[in-house]
């Protein structure tokens, strides 16, 4: 705690006298300045407002404080930094008691990044992206006090800070034992003393970083994105505090500092760095030189930190804090210096695909258009059969993780995009795509590793005997091929489909999609397509029956018998494992197994359409069919496989594949090309590395519980159903008659959009709110979704 002699009473007095506000005051921590949280007294008409009053240490030069105020003024339109509040005389800074400079800033709501329960790769990317936004906003800002050459935390002068402190590191040698204990193998293999570690960092800094500094992009940077300066709100990185370390420096220093803090305590320090850097790069592209300096800059920042603590520990041996606080930095340094710098840079740059444009979301093909201009051009040159989401359509220019950003930088929580499965613009996926595109993209008639690796990885997720892959470009292509496979194998044409099902946009698939042929513009089922009743626990015809599966399955048998009587046979049964377009319909237990049994007994095959919910979305299993304990003969997949890149596949048995191989080649120009295959491999890697299936399970359960709570309070919510991150809310105006609340569903989704939360309406009765977000969706996102739904429903 600092020694400035001010109490909460003084703060209240200053607030009244200089700002004319009646407040309560609470002391806040501050090493150098004296800070108080001021809260205005509740008033009948006004909600309490909070401010931070700062009484500066007289040792801080006035121009440094003015520098901060000027920067915050420059950032006045930037959400997420404090804003300076002038006093009654209009002054942003004034002298108090002839000696102390005082100012007041707005208080930012949120929780500290340091208190975040988990630090996922996704949140580290959000952090990097946020810092890039700050830097973009500060890009043109200049101030006479911005050059702080003698400042200890000026990383461009790390050598000058570390050098004189080297002797204090020598004194601390015995602690190396502790390092070896904590990081075991790494310290044991490198066997470096503390001094050696820091000297090595210093040598790299002097030889590699120093000469490159002058050619980098310099600007004013925040320079201290540590866990206690970053704020989260609803699990989003929303705020940045403490501009006291700001200076003019290469902007890559900003990234290095954010990464140096983010990696503390992480097992995989390089991965943590790569994620922060990738987030920054996704908003403001870093050059190859900047990226190549990051490893050394991060090491240098950690070395400055430990050198300063060691010196303090020497001068204040009774204060154990200095040693304790330095421990994570020492551990990180030990890990980093045991890594080959080139390998580290390779890992970092592998997450930073090169970009054409360095500005946030700038159009890559010319000037950005106003939303209205885009609408007009769509009307002129695109088919009106293509709709737009929302009454007030969104102009989205950038995506990261579970967020989409419009042209003004407003973040929307994406609760519906099951295509960008591992998160929008995931840097690992984008880098895989770009990296392979640089080398080669061609058809699959040449030998290439990617396609066979992908086939191997994909079939490893499947039960035997599903082992033969066909790579295609869309879910529709996959399902069309599945029909061909089924027909080739069985010699039959007739299909069994479920009411409300959708399988694609090709002629063959509109034919087997009741969602289309029974909907607007549809012509009903063709003679070879047979609809089975939707086995819905909530709305299905046997919902009140004691043994619904037996009833549904008996009905299916009746259909099969009719086909047989007509002298034809069943080629296949196709369905999803939860019917998406049909309204997120969950089958009664045993339904799929019963139907598969009947179909196979009739000589047909079973196709699992995993296009919407495959790749771990249910949380419990990687594939939806696994949650029903069945093994299909043909599995189709698409949407999430390429995380937005057109990549889809069919996996089948060797027997069916052999029947299809009748001499006519199956060639698909783009399917399985090296770029698409690289993307598919990256998606599979990320699902595994970031534990996304498990995330879907936990977050999905948490979300469903929250929605079920809402159901208790709002009769409008008839049903909440689904698995993992594939959920649906069915709205009804009457729980007894199940009258669909279509208008309310539409309104709910529109109102949520106004609250920056994206959902969609689905189901044949247009009364299902669909929830199927990118799999990086967090509990905070889920809580926010439930809270906002509550607010909107409360207003109905």
* Minimum distance of ligand PMP from residue 502's CB (angstroms): 5
CB of 749 to ligand PMP, least distance (A): 18
Nearer to ligand PMP, 68 or 479 (CB): 479
Answer whether 2's CB lies under 8 Å from 12's CB. Answer: no
**Smallest distance, Å, CB 578 to ligand PMP?**
10
Q: How far is the CB of 614 from ligand PMP (least distance, A)?
A: 10
DSSP class of residue 163 equals G
Question: In 3-state terms, what secondary structure has residue 244?
Answer: coil
Pairing of strands 717-723, 648-652: unpaired
Minimum CB separation of residue 626 from ligand PMP in Å reads 17
**Nearer to ligand PMP among residue 35 and residue 479 (C-beta):** 479
CA 75/CA 684 separation, integer angstroms: 40
Compute the least distance from the CB of residue 193 to ligand PMP, in Å: 58
Nearer to ligand PMP, 503 or 531 (CB): 503
d(CA 165, CA 170): 9
Alpha helices in 15-120 (DSSP H): 62-74
Where does this chain bind ligand PMP (CB under 6 A)?
A: 474-476, 479, 502-505, 576, 580, 609, 611-612, 638-639
Residue 24 to residues 49, 55, 281, 474, Cα–Cα distance (Å): 11, 16, 43, 61
CB of 543 to ligand PMP, least distance (A): 23
- Shortest Å distance, C-beta 613 to ligand PMP: 8
DSSP letter string, 583-648? TSEEPPTTHHHHHHHHHHHTT-EEEEE-TTTTTTTTSS-SSGGGGGT---SEEEE-GGGGBTB--E
Nearest-CA neighbor of 416 among 36, 96, 4, 757? 757
Closest to ligand PMP by CB, 113 vs 623, is 623
216's CB contacts (< 8 A; 6+ apart) are: 250, 251, 252, 289, 290, 293
**Phi, psi torsion values for 59, nearest 5 degrees:** -75, -15
Please state the φ and ψ torsions of residue 677, each to the nearest 5 degrees.
Answer: -65, -40
Taking the C-alpha atoms of residue 707 and residue 711, their distance in angstroms, rounded to an integer, is 6
Sign of CA dihedral 326, 332, 333, 335: positive
Nearer to ligand PMP, 266 or 609 (CB): 609
The C-alpha atoms of residue 232 and residue 240 are separated, in whole angstroms, by 9
Apex 270 CA angle, 165 and 135, nearest 5:
75
User: Whole-number minimum distance, CB 609 to ligand PMP, in Å?
Assistant: 5
Q: Which is nearer to ligand PMP, 531 or 784 (CB)?
A: 531
Is the bond preceding residue 465 a cis peptide, omega within 30 degrees? yes
- How many residues belong to the chain? 796
Distance of closest approach, residue 179 Cβ to ligand PMP, in angstroms: 52
Beta bridge partners of 400: 403
Q: Which is nearer to ligand PMP, 205 or 623 (CB)?
A: 623
Residue 415: which of 9, 740, 782, 676 has the closest Cα?
782
Q: What are the E-state strand segments in 664-767? A: 717-723, 726-734, 739-740, 757-758, 760-762
User: Closest CB to ligand PMP among 261 and 502?
Assistant: 502
Residue 257, strand partner residues: none
Q: Which is nearer to ligand PMP, 133 or 652 (CB)?
A: 652
SS3 233: strand
Residue with the CB atom nearest ligand PMP in the bound state: 475
In the complex, the smallest distance separating the C-beta of residue 486 from ligand PMP, rounded to whole angstroms, is 15
Nearest approach, Cβ of residue 509 and ligand PMP (Å): 7
Alpha helices in 350-448 (DSSP H): 371-381, 427-439
Helix (H, G, I), strand (E, B) or coil at 405: strand
Rounded Cα–Cα distance for residues 712 and 706 (Å):
10
Residue 576 or 751 having the CB closest to ligand PMP: 576
Q: How far is the CB of 497 from ligand PMP (least distance, A)?
A: 11
CB of 21 to ligand PMP, least distance (A): 55
Pairing of strands 570-575, 605-609: parallel
Nearer to ligand PMP, 110 or 504 (CB): 504
Whichever of 179 and 611 has its CB closer to ligand PMP, that residue is 611
Chain center to CA of 431: 16
Report the alpha-carbon distance of residue 567 to residue 561 in Å, rounded.
10
- Whose Cβ is closer to ligand PMP: residue 298's or residue 572's? 572
Q: Which is nearer to ligand PMP, 474 or 492 (CB)?
A: 474
């Amino acid at each position: 705690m600092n020694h400035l002699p001010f109490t909460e009473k003084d703060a209240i007095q200053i607030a009244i006298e200089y700002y004319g506000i009646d407040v309560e005051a609470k002391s806040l921590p501050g090493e150098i300045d004296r800070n108080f949280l001021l809260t205005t007294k509740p008033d009948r008409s006004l909600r309490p407002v909070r401010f931070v009053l700062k009484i500066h240490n007289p040792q801080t030069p006035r121009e440094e404080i003015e520098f901060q105020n000027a920067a915050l003024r420059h950032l006045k339109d930037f959400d997420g930094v404090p804003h300076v509040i002038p006093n009654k005389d209009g002054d942003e800074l004034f002298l108090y008691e002839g000696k102390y400079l005082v100012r007041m800033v707005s208080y930012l709501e949120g929780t500290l990044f340091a208190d975040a329960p988990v630090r996922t790769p996704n949140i580290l990317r959000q952090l990097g992206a946020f810092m890039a936004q700050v830097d973009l906003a500060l890009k043109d800002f200049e101030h006479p006090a911005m050059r702080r050459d003698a400042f200890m935390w000026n990383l461009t002068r790390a050598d000058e800070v570390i050098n004189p402190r080297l002797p204090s590191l020598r004194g601390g040698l015995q602690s190396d034992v502790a390092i070896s204990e904590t990081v075991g193998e790494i310290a044991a293999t490198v066997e470096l003393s503390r001094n050696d570690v820091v000297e090595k960092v210093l040598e790299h800094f002097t030889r590699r970083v120093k000469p490159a500094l002058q050619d980098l992009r310099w600007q004013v940077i925040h320079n201290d994105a540590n866990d206690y300066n970053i704020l989260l709100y609803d699990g989003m990185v929303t705020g940045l505090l403490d501009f006291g370390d700001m200076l003019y420096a290469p902007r890559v220093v900003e990234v290095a500092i954010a990464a140096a803090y983010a990696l503390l305590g992480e097992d995989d320090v390089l991965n943590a760095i790569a994620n922060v850097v990738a987030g920054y790069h996704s908003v403001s592209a870093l050059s190859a030189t900047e990226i190549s300096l990051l490893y050394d800059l991060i090491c240098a920042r950690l070395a400055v930190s430990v050198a300063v603590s060691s010196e303090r520990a020497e001068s204040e041996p009774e204060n154990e804090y200095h040693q304790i606080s330095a421990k994570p930095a020492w551990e990180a340094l030990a890990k980093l210096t045991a890594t080959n710098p080139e390998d580290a840079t390779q890992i970092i740059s592998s997450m930073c695909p090169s970009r054409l444009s360095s500005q946030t979301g700038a159009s890559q093909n010319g000037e950005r258009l106003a939303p209205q201009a885009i609408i007009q051009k769509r009307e002129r040159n695109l088919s009106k059969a293509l709709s737009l989401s929302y009454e007030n359509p969104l102009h989205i220019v950038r995506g990261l993780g579970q967020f989409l950003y419009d042209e003004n930088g407003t973040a929307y929580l994406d609760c519906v995009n099951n295509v960008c499965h591992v998160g929008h613009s995931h840097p690992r996926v984008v880098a895989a795509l770009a990296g392979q595109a640089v080398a080669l993209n061609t058809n699959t008639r040449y030998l290439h590793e990617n396609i066979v690796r992908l086939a191997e990885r994909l079939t490893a997720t499947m039960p035997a005997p599903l082992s033969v892959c066909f790579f295609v470009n869309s879910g529709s292509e996959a399902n069309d091929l599945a029909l061909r496979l089924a027909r080739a194998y069985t010699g039959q044409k007739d299909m069994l489909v479920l009411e409300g099902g959708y399988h694609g946009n090709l002629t063959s698939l509109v034919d087997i999609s009741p969602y289309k042929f029974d909907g607007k513009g549809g012509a009903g089922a063709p003679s070879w397509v047979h609809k089975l009743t939707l086995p819905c626990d909530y709305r299905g015809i046997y919902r009140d029956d004691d043994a619904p599966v037996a009833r549904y399955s008996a009905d299916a048998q009746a259909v099969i018998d009719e086909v047989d009587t007509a002298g034809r046979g069943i080629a296949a049964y196709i369905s999803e494992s939860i019917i998406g377009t049909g309204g997120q319909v969950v089958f009664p237990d045993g339904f799929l197994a019963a139907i598969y049994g009947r179909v196979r007994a009739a000589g047909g095959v079973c196709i699992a359409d995993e296009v919407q919910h495959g790749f771990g979305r249910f949380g419990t299993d990687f594939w939806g069919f696994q949650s029903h304990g069945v093994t299909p003969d043909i599995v189709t997949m698409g949407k999430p496989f390429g995380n937005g890149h057109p990549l889809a596949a069919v996996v089948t048995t060797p027997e069916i594949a052999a029947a299809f191989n009748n001499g006519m080649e199956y060639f698909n120009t783009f399917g399985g090309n090296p770029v698409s295959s690289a993307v598919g491999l990256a998606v599979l890697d990320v699902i595994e590395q970031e534990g996304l299936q498990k995330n879907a399970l936990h977050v999905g359960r948490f979300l469903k519980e929250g929605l079920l709570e809402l159901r208790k309070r709002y009769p409008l919510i008839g049903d909440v159903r689904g698995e993992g991150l594939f959920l649906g809310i069915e709205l009804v105006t009457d729980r007894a008659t199940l009258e669909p609340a279509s208008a309310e569903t539409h309104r709910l989704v529109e109102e949520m959009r106004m609250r920056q939360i994206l959902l969609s309406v689905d189901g044949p009765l247009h009364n299902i709110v669909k929830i199927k977000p990118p799999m990086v969706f967090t509990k905070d996102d889920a809580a926010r979704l439930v809270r906002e739904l509550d607010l909107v429903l409360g207003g109905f």
